[in-house]
Amino acid sequence: MSAVQRVCLSCGRCCDGSIFTHANFKEHDYNNSDLINYFPEIKNQKLLSLPCRLFTSKCPVYNETRPQICQTFKCRVLHNIENGIYGEARAEELVAMLHNLVGEYRQKFEIFQNFDDNLSLSENHEALLNNKKVRKAVHVQLQFATLKFFIKKHFEKN
């Protein structure tokens, strides 16, 4: 297994809804019968909602049939490993920081309401902001902003 694959598998934040809310199915996916078994919505939807329902703490089908975008998408961290900008150790450090940021976010979030694991992190955040019983969850908002700045800087592609 390559460094890119190891780091990708140790992260999983693209799949669990921490970074994205949806992924696009690609043309190739619509004719893939194995994939349609996992994601019957391919027949009538262009978007895969995240968190991915197959994902637990890791992608269980990483080396098997996955939507094309899951096979081809590389975040900036993976690009940087591939292009020799930094090594696996720095990538692991960034992934660990991301895990911590998400963990801290959830901790602060759950002071106010339960985190819905069927929704992405952004959708949960929006639900919190729309919760009229919550007056001003400033520390959750700051944590969300920190997470977004960190993702934008280190994980989103240029």
Partner 1 sequence: MGNSVVLSLSTKIYKNKNIISNQIDGETVIMRIEENDYFQLDETGTYIWNIIDKPISVIEISDKIIEHFGISREQSENDMLNFINELSRKKIVITGD
Residue 116 CB, nearest approach to partner 1 (Å):
24
d(CA 69, CA 106): 27
> Residue 121's Cα: distance from chain center in Å?
9
> Would you call 23 helix, strand, or coil by DSSP?
strand
Residue 130 CB, nearest approach to partner 1 (Å):
15
Q: Which of 130, 138, 157, 158 touches partner 1 (CB under 8 A)?
A: 138
Q: Which of 94, 102, 121, 137 touches partner 1 (CB under 8 A)?
A: 94
Does 131 sit near partner 1 (CB under 8 A)?
no
Does 122 sit near partner 1 (CB under 8 A)?
no
Does 128 sit near partner 1 (CB under 8 A)?
no
Does 89 sit near partner 1 (CB under 8 A)?
no
Query: Which is nearest to 19 in space by CA: 93, 83, 77, 90?
Result: 77
Helices 3-11 and 88-109, interaxial angle, to 10°? Answer: 10
